[in-house]
């Protein structure tokens, strides 16, 4: 009979399950809302990372045409036609052509130089603004995601304290769910913020490199226009095409 009572008592104690889903369910709508915000932040960060990385690689790849083809042309207008239409280098070249066509209307040589320099600077600024688009979102996510996670942490700890106050004791089944939710929110906040910060700094560094190349190209264009084509950078030779491997010579036929 004693064994029967012990077995009944053992069967009456249900096993509590603790996990991510259970912790989120105990958190209710607030926990799910914070999680949804975190997911949106993370997806947006990775979307911007990959799209901006693709854009930067495309711009750096287009710069090879500037080095190998653009400066071989006999005029700016001809050189601009050798660049891709949607590239920032083509935009700078087209703006330089327009500035060169309009500078003759200036009555003073200094005004002419300032006009061409200002035109190219405005073009650079507009290109850099496009390249930096979206990076503010990464900076915002990196700065705010830990605090959004901290909000979930505070709410989880608060719920744990409420459960302790209602039950009158700090048993594990009363605090495990809210505390688990709090720790999960902290971890998610860090997992969202850290990649965003790394992506922001990395993309910013690559944008600075592109901005330096744009500034160099703009300076070369201005020097070319002010010298009537006498001053221009050295042309980089295009990479030679790989030659096919030579076929091995046939063995001489044996003598009779």
Q: Mean pLDDT across the stretch 39-55?
A: 93
Tell me, what's the pLDDT at 114? Answer: 77
CB atoms within 10 A of CB 255: 4
The first and second tokens of residue 245, run together, are 């491997």
Give the pLDDT score at 34: 84
pLDDT digits (tens, 9 = 90+) for 69-120: 888 888 888 888 888 888 899 888 888 888 877 776 666 655 667 778 888 8
Residue 235 φ/ψ, nearest 5 degrees:
-85, 130
- Give the pair of three-digit tokens for residue 113: 């130089």
Q: What is the DSSP letter of 232?
A: -
- Reading the block at residue 103, the tokens are 């500078």
Share of residues in the chain with pLDDT > 70 (%): 71
Whole-number Å distance between alpha carbons of 255 and 124: 75
- Report, as an integer, the average pLDDT of 210-233: 84
pLDDT tier for residue 233 given thresholds of 50, 70 and 90:
confident
Give the DSSP H/E element, type plus range, for residue 162: helix 135-167
Which residue reads 């932040």 in tokens?
A: 41
* Mean residue pLDDT across the chain: 77
As given in the structure block, the two tokens for residue 156 are 């989880």
Of the two residues 23 and 204, the one the predictor is more confident about is 204
Q: pLDDT-based confidence at 206, cuts 50/70/90?
A: very high
- pLDDT for the residue 137: 93
Segment 31-60 mean pLDDT:
90
Give the pLDDT band (50/70/90) at residue 3: very low
* 155-177 per-position pLDDT tens digit: 777 777 776 677 666 566 556 66
- Greater model confidence, 153 or 202: 202
Cβ-based neighbours of 208, under 8 Å, separated by 6 or more: none
Q: Is residue 146 a contact partner of residue 193, using CB atoms and an 8 Å limit?
A: yes
Q: How far is CA 24 from CA 21, 32, 44, 153, in A?
A: 5, 7, 23, 12
Higher pLDDT, 240 or 184: 184
Tell me the C-alpha to C-alpha distance, in Å, between residue 190 and each of 44, 147, 186.
16, 9, 6
Say if residue 18's pLDDT is above 60: no
How far is 159 from 243, CA to CA, in rounded Å?
73
Question: From CA 242, how far away is CA 3, in angstroms rounded?
Answer: 86
pLDDT in the model for residue 66? 85
Return d(Cα 87, Cα 154) in angstroms, integer. Answer: 49
Q: How far apart are CA 119 and CA 87, in angstroms?
A: 17
Q: Are 180 and 18 in contact (CB under 8 A)?
A: yes
CA distance 177 to 156: 8
Residue 12 — pLDDT band, cuts 50, 70, 90?
very low
Closest CA relative to residue 236, chosen from 64, 59, 75: 64
């Amino acid at each position: 009979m004693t064994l029967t009572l012990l077995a009944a008592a053992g069967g009456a104690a249900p096993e509590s399950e603790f996990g991510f889903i259970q912790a989120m369910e105990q958190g209710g709508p607030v926990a799910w809302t914070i999680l949804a915000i975190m997911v949106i932040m993370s997806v947006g960060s990775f979307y911007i990372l990959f799209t901006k990385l693709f854009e930067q690689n495309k711009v750096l790849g287009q710069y090879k045409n500037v080095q190998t083809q653009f400066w071989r042309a006999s005029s700016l207008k001809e050189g601009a036609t050798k660049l891709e239409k949607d590239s920032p280098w083509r935009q700078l070249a087209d703006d330089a052509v327009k500035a060169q066509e309009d500078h003759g209307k200036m009555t003073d040589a200094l005004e002419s130089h300032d006009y061409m320099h200002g035109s190219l600077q405005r073009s650079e600024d507009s290109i850099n603004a496009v390249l930096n688009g979206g990076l503010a979102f990464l900076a915002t996510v990196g700065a705010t995601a830990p605090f959004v996670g901290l909000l979930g942490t505070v709410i989880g700890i608060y719920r744990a304290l409420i459960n302790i106050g209602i039950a009158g004791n700090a048993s594990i089944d009363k605090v495990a769910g809210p505390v688990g939710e709090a720790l999960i929110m902290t971890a998610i906040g860090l997992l969202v913020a850290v990649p965003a910060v790394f992506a922001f700094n990395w993309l910013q560094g690559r944008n600075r490199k592109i901005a330096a190349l744009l500034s160099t190209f703009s300076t070369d264009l201005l020097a070319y226009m002010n010298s009537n084509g006498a001053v221009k950078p050295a042309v980089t030779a295009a990479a030679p095409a790989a030659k096919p491997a030579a076929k091995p010579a046939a063995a001489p036929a044996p003598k009779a």
